[in-house]
Structure 1
């Protein structure tokens, strides 16, 4: 097992040190003609009440027909409906330019698209591009998706005053009085099984009655190549904020993605089935996952067979979010060759979040994480979970959740995998739990190494159904008196040079008859055997202490 730790450590050191030396394929850069097309010349008016949809799209079409260049959005409030980017166009927002999308939901037509990895019908996105090459959105202005006109809101996520003010807007409250919907059409969608999903002989007309429920993502780029998003604030999205889908050569730099914390599905960026990506120097403060990696859902994702690969994330900050850096749960096409370094997560529900569930399939592998700082994490600093249930990671007040039933299933193409993941140099100051690992009995989470991890948390480590897992040079400062290390039905686990600081009478609890080959190397705890308990069929033979 130590051979694995040292071996993958060498790989990590080699690859991450060369990440900026083009170990990954270089991301092709955009380039534009020196020509400017101001939206004002095409009739746009910055009065906040004139709909400028035609003027802005006319400027984009003219720019494209003339070989490309920059479409300029000057300072001011520019009200608009959906905008479609075309090849060789840089949509540039001057400082103090606010591109405000309309709250008239009729301006957005229903279209066939993709939602959470499935073929679906949704409303047209405020900004989109399909099969475009050499495109950009740059500048220092703001793009506002008017998400409050679209999104439902859970009562438990608001104060009493906020809830009462929300009700003054009208809308519809759910039967259990816990969720507000902005329109009857939106409420009707909540009653439909798998709303928006295209199945059988359904057509767009079958979704008209629930149109308002089918919230669009703010920016969707589909099958585009050579993309730059730089400097702009993307905020208040109806659903996901930034969604590049099946794109190549994507650069995202110095952007700010911002959503209310109560925004359901209000992700910051979802990079789905993309190849050759650089995400750097950006900030996310959103209602769902911050930086999220996806590749399609279930059978459709496996048929697409397009992993997200060759991705470098660096120097990013995530504030409120369900997860700081996230892979899944729609990862059926796989994810590989991903590097995350020099990032900070403050106040996120989870820090590093790897999530999936049975039925997805797909392999997440060759993930390298280095130099991560976390503060005030609400839940787990690091999480691997193969029982994701499409719920918020933090249980809301009054909500009850049952633990999943553990049973063996047959391994087939629907079985997901997490493997070959290396995490190094992590500091987490304040979390509910330092590390949570929950694999499947038929497919354990495996070949994982975590090195130089310092955590201050209420709880320590909870691990089940894992093997070939190494923790090395870690310090866990734990305030609760439950066992600091809790291992269930896991084998070939190495704890190397671990310093636990706890008042708990038991340091380690090992459970399950399938637990074996758990090693504690370079012991820093006196009389560790008396501080270990064995339960649920585990025996003292499962633990080996090597000083």
Structure 2
């Protein structure tokens, strides 16, 4: 099945599978409300399974989380994805004033070709709908696992820019092999912490703690079976 765009906002028990998505901006986008309105509505996007899809996003991200995520995004399992000719492979987006969380997400068995940034997370993305947002509503990003990713013709392996007052935590990288043109600039990191195992090129020091089960969680897949993150 060929589709142009998939958008999920404050949804649960979602399965996206066996399709090709090609878009000028984001191909698949998961959201859950915008600032104080998403916080007040309080409905998370959760229990999402994405598998066996082919994605292309020329100027955006093939798989985007946020930036509107004030109701929370959790329990997402992504597996067996092909990404090609895209700006960013997988990206998490948020900013101060959002509140909410993105947590317990596994990105597994991904093949990328000709992608500028393979994986990204930024805490400085998106505008506000009005001036009623709470600047002290800090979003939280925690327990995100990337496992089994192969990339060729990649410019930047990873870019993680967290929020100083609310750093990104428990970013887990395992069995990742990305061919980049410059090893010295392959990773960009600030206000982030995590662990890694068998990652090439070697990630920034903030992500080089040894991987262990206490920080890399286990996710219940949509079939009800436990899927090991690491």
User: In the alignment, which residue of structure 2 is the partner of 1:310?
Assistant: 47
Cα deviation digits, residues 273-310 of structure 1 (max 9, x gap): 00111100011111110111000100000111111011
1:306–1:360: structure 2 CA closer, same or farther, 3 Å change rule?
same
* Residue 208 of structure 2 is aligned to residue 494 of structure 1: yes
Instruction: Name the residue aligned to 2:153.
Output: 430
Q: Which consecutive unaligned segments of at least 5 residues does structure 1 have?
A: 1-253, 259-267, 391-409, 477-483, 498-547
Does 1 or 2 have the higher relative contact order (CA < 8 Å, sep 6+)?
2
Distance of aligned partners of 1:486 and 1:422 in 2 relative to their CA distance in 1, 3 Å threshold: closer
Aligned to 2:77: 339
Partner of 1:442: 165
Which runs of 4 or more aligned residues in structure 1 lie more than 4 Å from their structure 2 counterparts after TM superposition?
A: 484-487
Corresponding residue SS for 1:281: strand
The secondary structure found in structure 2 opposite 1:325 is strand
Question: In structure 1, how many angstroms separate the alpha carbons of the residues matched to 2:105 and 2:164?
Answer: 22
C-alpha contact (below 8 Å) 2:70/2:139 kept by paired residues:
yes
Aligned residue in 1 for 2:199:
474
What's the counterpart of residue 257 of structure 1?
3
The whole-number CA distance in structure 2 between the counterparts of 1:389 and 1:433 is 22
How many angstroms apart in 2 are the aligned matches of 1:273 and 1:313?
A: 16
Q: Displacement of 1:447 after TM fit?
A: 1.0
When the two chains are superposed, the root-mean-square deviation of aligned CA atoms in Å is 1.9
Distance in 2 separating the partners of 1:425 and 1:329: 25
Structure 1 equivalent of residue 222 of structure 2: none
Matched residues in 2 for 1:418 and 1:289: separation? Answer: 20
User: Quick one: distance in 1 between partners of 2:118 and 2:67?
Assistant: 18
Report what 2:112 is aligned to.
374
Aligned length: 201
User: Structure 2: where are the runs of 5+ without partners?
Assistant: 128-133, 212-230
Distance 1:296 1:435 in 2: 26
Structure (1 or 2) with the larger CA radius of gyration: 1
Q: Could you say what secondary structure the match of 2:186 adopts?
A: strand
Measure, in 2, the Cα distance between the counterparts of 1:485 and 1:351. Answer: 17
Contact 1:473 1:496 in 2 (8 A): no
Partner secondary structure for residue 37 of structure 2? helix
Q: 1:287 to 1:303 in 2, by over 3 A?
A: same
1:463 aligns with 2:209: no
Name the structure where strand makes up a greater proportion of residues.
Answer: 2
TM-score normalised per structure 2: 0.82
